[in-house]
Amino acid sequence: MRKSFLVAGTATLALGLTSIAFAQNPAPSIESTASVSPTKAGTKSKPKGETLKLSVKNNVDSKTTAEKITITFPSTLKISTKGLDQCKASDEELIADSSVCSKAKAGSGSARAILNPNAPAPLNFKVVPYVGKNEVLFLLSGSADAVLHGKISGKKMTIVITPQLQQPVPAPTRRSTTSRRRSPRRRARTP
């Protein structure tokens, strides 16, 4: 029964893209692969856990960034956080100490991105998913620390990329290296 998932294809992905206004950039193209194991997940009365492996690649030459990633799961796969240990810590607490949700850890992975497509600088992240209430929390650490929320609604999970991760790192504030010289005040002479 679960083999229909593999026959029907992998999870459908849609990326919301923000493009940078540059002439002659190719259109964004997305390559994605997904796999689920084991292929026999059990029955409704005796379900078995599944492992989802997902890879999403955007065309680097298009110089775009993702606003969100939407994963649509097939009808043969039920997505639920019910009955699992859930992380109830705030984003700040999870970033400061990931052990606060150790029981809710749901795997590990990595992510790579490019900062400033005109003068590329690679960013590398360690990604650790945690089970939340009707969502999966993705803790990113490495080049920047952040928590992304993968909201689960029916057969879809939508991961919104925070605006801070979509923008280049702001340039440091410049301080003036020139100083103003005040001319000494002269007293007016009285006759």
Residue 118 within a domain: yes
Residue 175 within a domain: no
- Domain extent at residue 10: 3-166
pLDDT computed for residue 1 by the predictor: 40
Residue 31 within a domain: yes
Ramachandran sector of residue 100 (left: φ over 0; alpha: ψ -120 to 50; beta: rest)? alpha
- Tokens 């997940």 sit on residue: 41
Instruction: Please count the structural domains in the chain.
Output: 1
pLDDT computed for residue 117 by the predictor: 66
Residue 45 within a domain: yes
pLDDT computed for residue 87 by the predictor: 95
Tens digits of pLDDT across the chain (191 residues): 443 333 333 343 444 444 444 456 677 777 888 888 877 767 778 877 778 788 888 777 777 777 888 888 888 777 888 888 999 999 999 999 999 999 999 989 988 887 776 677 788 899 999 999 999 999 999 888 999 999 999 999 999 988 887 775 555 444 444 444 444 444 555 55
